[in-house]
Amino acid sequence: MRVLIVGVGGVGEALASIARLQPWAEKLVLADYNLRRAQEVQNRMGDSDRFPAEFIDASNKEMIIELARKHRVDLIMNAVDPIYNVPIFEAAYEYGCLYMDLAMTLSKPHPSQPYQRTGVMLGDYQFERAHLWEKKGILALVGLGVEPGMSDVFARYAQDHLFDEIDEIGIRDGSNLQVAGYEFAPSFSIWTTIEECLNPPVIWEEGRGWFTTEPFSEPEVFNFPEGIGPIEVVNVEHEEVLLIPRWVKCKRVTFKYGLGEQFINVLKTLHMLGLDSKEPVRVKGVEVAPRDVVAACLPDPAHLGDRMSGKTCAGTWVKGVKDGKPRQVYIYQVADNAECMQRWGCQAVVAQTAFNSVIGWDLLEHGEWKGCGVLGPEAFDPLPFMSKMADYGFPYGIQEMGD
């Protein structure tokens, strides 16, 4: 398989590191607006022919198509902030190859009732064009990272193998990660974090459909496994709530994230000051988006691994009935930062995100997952994916929970 990786930040580097060990990964094109960054990762990989470094402007559809043709790629991997999803998605369609992303096209809140009703939802742009991809016979596999991605695979597995009826599916994410030497240092893209945490969270219920609520609403304490322990989690906008109900039969879907009081307060302050805005403002003759300034002022998550310690847990909590009895399980994956740094040279959050995409490439390359149109991970058989997780160094666990 020949893959064009658009964006060589933390996740892009982890994609290359994990896929490097797979002989079927014939060529991985490292394309980034910061060519020096792409070359830095290329040097780490130690093979310039297999890992060519290229300059790319992710907003330029024609440039993406040109690079795809130059390297005769089979798949375009979107590993940049989702503001660029449309041109990358459309480039893959026009070029006629597989497309994969980690997060779907962006939402827009309802103009008058943002905390009650949905406006434009995550992925609406892509799903509205599913018939075109079907007609062309090509596949866009959307939302295949860790969350969304692995969490969606777990939801489908729960439906197919663990439950007769499902009342609720709740994605629950928490960690005890710490970054030494920084008062505030997000372990993932702050651009994306601001987007998903300050937008109105979406909830899905049978008979009601999708609706929204206030950011950071419905706090609950969730006890995470493998020594992480109890963490307060809150509602956050996330793709699983838009994806899972399309393929998994259940009565309610939520996504809750363990942000912590400090993180929530920082996000609220950014919003209060208008520093979360994506719209450019003029500053001394220069047009700049406040959110881009915030991102530029914070440390790059790709270079925090040697300062990080702890574990991060992503997983899917499912409540329902099996054999006439109530049942609750948490299907999860825990990544330890020290282990990720030792094995791949990448910090835990980006490594835990990237391995799912590489498994997806593997399954598509070998025909174990097939399809056309615009599909989420839960549209496919979960067993081939889950059987490979341990082989890739990211085994899953299943924890039975009480009522």
Whether 199 and 326 share a structural domain: yes
> What is the predicted pLDDT for the residue at 310?
94
Whether 233 and 290 share a structural domain: yes
Domain count, the chain: 2
- pTM (2 d.p.): 0.94
d(CA 59, CA 199): 23
Whether 78 and 160 share a structural domain: no
Residue numbers of the domain that contains 332: 150-344+395-401
Reported confidence tier of residue 296, pLDDT bands at 50, 70, 90: confident
- Per-residue pLDDT of 15-44, as tens digits, reads 999 999 999 999 999 999 999 999 999 999
Count CB atoms within 10 A of the CB of residue 26: 13
The one-letter amino acid code at 345 reads: G
- 44, exposed or middle or buried, with CB in 10 Å at 0-12, 13-18, 19+? middle
Average pLDDT value for residue range 223-252: 97
> What is the predicted pLDDT for the residue at 403?
57
Q: Which domain-ending residue is among 34, 66, 101?
A: 101
Whether 71 and 216 share a structural domain: no
The one-letter amino acid code at 13 reads: E
pLDDT of 192 above 90: no
Reply yes or no: is the peptide bond before residue 148 cis, omega within 30 of 0. yes
d(CA 256, CA 234): 5
* Percentage of the chain lying above the pLDDT 70 cut: 100
Which H or E element spans position 360?
Answer: helix 348-365
CATH at 63:
3.40.50.720
d(CA 342, CA 338): 6
Tokens standing for 97? 């190859």
